[in-house]
Structure 1
Amino acid sequence: MNRKLETNAVPGSGEPKTGSRWGQERRLEFIDFRLQWEGRLNRGDLTDFFGISIPQASLDISRYQSICPQNMEYDRSTKMYVAMPDFKPVFPVSHPSRYLNELLATATGVLPRDATFVGWWPSVAVVPVPTRILDVNVLTALLRAIRERQGLRIQYQSMSRPDAISRVITPHAIAFDGFRWHVRAYCHIRELFLDFVIARILRVEATEQPGRGQEEDHEWNTIVTLEIIANLELGEQRRRVVELDYGMEDGQIDLRCRQSLLFYTLRQLGLDDSDGRCPEVQQITLKNRAAVEGFRKPRASE
């Protein structure tokens, strides 16, 4: 069960009613997370992570217990609060994907360990990938242009030309294709919306008058649903394994993606050119391939 909890201050606690990063609701999420993934916590966990007093930590634990009396109890032998057998998390922060993403972020150096709710760390390994080096000044300028709806003159190195050339773009969004970050922008030269690889922008030279904006980018605004099922050439037992792998319900999972990201999505899933692959390699297929093919266009990128 996931529900938004009241964030009214505990009387006498001096806590704000809403949403600062270190407000009480954030600390209740922390309690929920630790009970879910480590099965225990004490007041020291709260005081160390949030820098609050022991009395405040006691108030937070009492507040959590008043909301979720079935979730934890005090174990006098270990002097810790432990999750009860019928524990049920009440915050989205305790979702498995959040926990695994925090492990991933720390393993790849994106987050320091003390920035996450994780207390005990299992051994974690990540398949290595090349690090994309992005110019901080370029990314800052792109974000500012998106926010302020500006055009930019950039020096861009494309695959189709030996030398970098000056381009004028109006960026409106950024996107990750599973390997690289792109900026989605209107190209003033080609008069098209295109994907520009951010790492290929050598520098930003000047601001320009804006061109067409996001509201006119049809492919960005169009959502395509991919109906994914296990490869029908697999036996029933193997199809069931694939369904478990992908979290399918009733033998299917629907993924929604922007039309402008369809090329990358199909490539990531191995669905871009799956004909001829043996079913043990091509374990999933598109149930609605004909409909999806109607949205496929040559990749609009530079």
Structure 2
Amino acid sequence: MRKEELIRYQLIEAILLWEGRLTARHLMDYFSISRPSAQKSISDYKTLNPNGFTRSQSEKGHVAVTGFEPLFISTDFAHYQHVFGDRALSNDTINCAIELLPVPLRNVTPELVRPILQAIKQRLRLDIGYLSLSSPDFEDRIIQPHSIVFDGFRYHVRGFCEKNQDFRDFVLSRFNGEFAFEGEASHAIEDDRDWQTWLEVVICPDQRLGPKQRQCIEYDYQMSDGKKVIRTRAALLNYLLQRLRVDIYQADAESQQIIIDPECRKTLQAYLNHR
């Protein structure tokens, strides 16, 4: 299967799964292709998933069957958001119901990322300039990176820092891009204890809320018996808590909404505020 075909099939599935009705116009607008080409892509997909959708005269399009199962995408709504939200920003012909919140631009360029990815893939030591809050000027750091992490707002590089002799997180946009490789890395991802340690974060409604309010929160977060378990690496715990907005205590229960289960917090205490 050619990549072009796969991308078209993914779009077809995203529309059928989340909108329920597909027409050739969707593909024509999205890919700037002709109607015959769009119709052919739909027909080709039909041979791969013959029971996934039917032609509806009343709907004037192809309609997904109940329980439609995609073959090429996940059932996570984030995929639909990615397909349409990002594309709609640069193509005003696409009718999109999703509005993405603008965030401050970060200094993330191909020139900056390439040496880091190369060091990760080839397990190399990387000498690169880094700007930290404690140092107003770029200083050379020799790091041994093993992963790039996106916390929902900015990118981080996880790796061994030879200055601190420990695994640390570095904000990707604070590197200056001037680098040199310094041979093979001596510390691998398997040596990063916090990265290899998995934790279960248990969240529950703020107990200061009333019964009906707690029930609303439980429904919103798909909790079972008043709790939701989220599995994460110990190295990423603080990023998760920030995204859940439970890293700061709110005096107003309705603003807080969810908290970490008290017993769980005792277990997590040893990993909070790790670098």
Match status 1:292 vs 2:241: no
Residue 72 of structure 1 corresponds to 54
Measured in 1, the distance between the counterparts of 2:243 and 2:23 equals 43
Residue 152 of structure 2 corresponds to 178
Q: Which range moved further: 197-206 or 127-136?
A: 127-136
Q: Tell me the amino acid that sits aligned with residue 134 of structure 1.
A: V
Pair 87,131 (structure 1): closer, same or farther in 2 beyond 3 Å? same
Residue 277 of structure 1 corresponds to 251
Mapped contact 1:72–1:87 kept (Cα < 8 A): no
Pair 251,72 (structure 1): closer, same or farther in 2 beyond 3 Å? farther
Q: Which range moved further: 189-198 or 54-63?
A: 54-63
When you count helix as a share of all residues, which structure comes out higher? 2
User: SS where residue 162 of structure 1 aligns?
Assistant: strand
User: SS where residue 126 of structure 2 aligns?
Assistant: strand
The structural deviation recorded for 1:41 is 2.9
Residue 243 of structure 1 corresponds to 218
Q: Tell me the amino acid that sits aligned with residue 294 of structure 1.
A: A
Pair 202,83 (structure 1): closer, same or farther in 2 beyond 3 Å? same
Report the identity percentage.
30
Match status 1:21 vs 2:6: no
Residue 158 of structure 1 corresponds to 132
The structural deviation recorded for 1:58 is 6.5
Match status 1:83 vs 2:83: no
Residue 22 of structure 2 corresponds to 41
The structural deviation recorded for 1:290 is 1.3
Mapped contact 2:115–2:179 kept (Cα < 8 A): no
The structural deviation recorded for 1:127 is 3.3
Mapped contact 1:32–1:94 kept (Cα < 8 A): no
Measured in 1, the distance between the counterparts of 2:55 and 2:48 equals 11
The structural deviation recorded for 1:146 is 0.5
Measured in 1, the distance between the counterparts of 2:156 and 2:107 equals 13
For residues 111-155 of structure 1, what are the alpha-carbon distances to aligned partners after superposition, in whole Å with 9 as ceiling and x for unaligned? x559xxx96422x43333211122431211101110111111111
Match status 1:226 vs 2:201: yes
When you count strand as a share of all residues, which structure comes out higher? 2
Residue 261 of structure 1 corresponds to 236
Unaligned stretches of 5+ in structure 2?
none
User: SS where residue 214 of structure 2 aligns?
Assistant: helix
User: SS where residue 67 of structure 1 aligns?
Assistant: coil
Could you say which structure has the larger radius of gyration?
1
Measured in 2, the distance between the counterparts of 1:247 and 1:283 equals 14
Equivalent residues, number: 267
